[in-house]
Amino acid sequence: MIDFKNSSYLKLKPVNINEGLNLVQPMLIDGEQVFAAFKTIRDMVIFTNKRVIAVNVQGLTGSKKDFTSLPYSKVQAFSVETAGTLDLDCEMELWFSGLGKVKFEFKGNFDIRSFNKIIGQYIL
């Protein structure tokens, strides 16, 4: 489960969409498609055209997983911060009705502005 008091997924790096799709395929509803997948050391965040799915890998073996669905229909506001000269990471914050803010930090030279446009199409 995402800790909404410390709601930051640290240093996400893009991975092949199929890696995320294989993990969440049984959960997807009709017409839902994965368009981006990111990974930390063990956890994943998968973006579909309907929601954000946060996957928290638990236990020593990693066989236990917690899946948290965050539907775009509950997003009240969102923002992005581009990378700078010294701070090379970029960020996206989503404010969910009744839950609060969730912050995603992306590693390296990820194109957050283009990603913001995609997310905006599903939220607005």
Convert the pLDDT of each residue in 74-114 to its tens digit: 999 999 999 877 667 899 999 999 888 899 999 877 899 99
The label of the residue with tokens 């506001």 reads 77
Strand locations in 1-124 (E): 8-15, 34-39, 44-48, 51-58, 64-71, 75-81, 90-96, 100-106
d(CA 2, CA 51): 15
The Cα angle at residue 45 between residues 111 and 120, in degrees rounded to 5: 50
Q: How confident is the model at residue 117 (pLDDT cuts 50, 70, 90)?
A: very high
- The percent helix, strand, coil of the chain (3-state, each to 5) is 20, 45, 35
Tell me: pLDDT of 5 over 60. no
Structural domains present in the chain: 8-123 (2.30.29.50)
Query: pLDDT, tens digit, for every residue of 13-69?
Result: 999 999 999 999 999 999 999 999 999 888 999 999 999 999 988 888 888 999 999
Whether the full predicted model's pTM is greater than 0.95, yes or no, is no
CA dihedral 88, 34, 49, 111 (to 10 degrees): 20
Tell me: pLDDT of 7 over 90. no
Widest CA span in the chain: 43
Q: Are 48 and 41 in contact (CB under 8 A)?
A: no
Query: Per the structure block, which two tokens stand in for 118?
Result: 């995609």
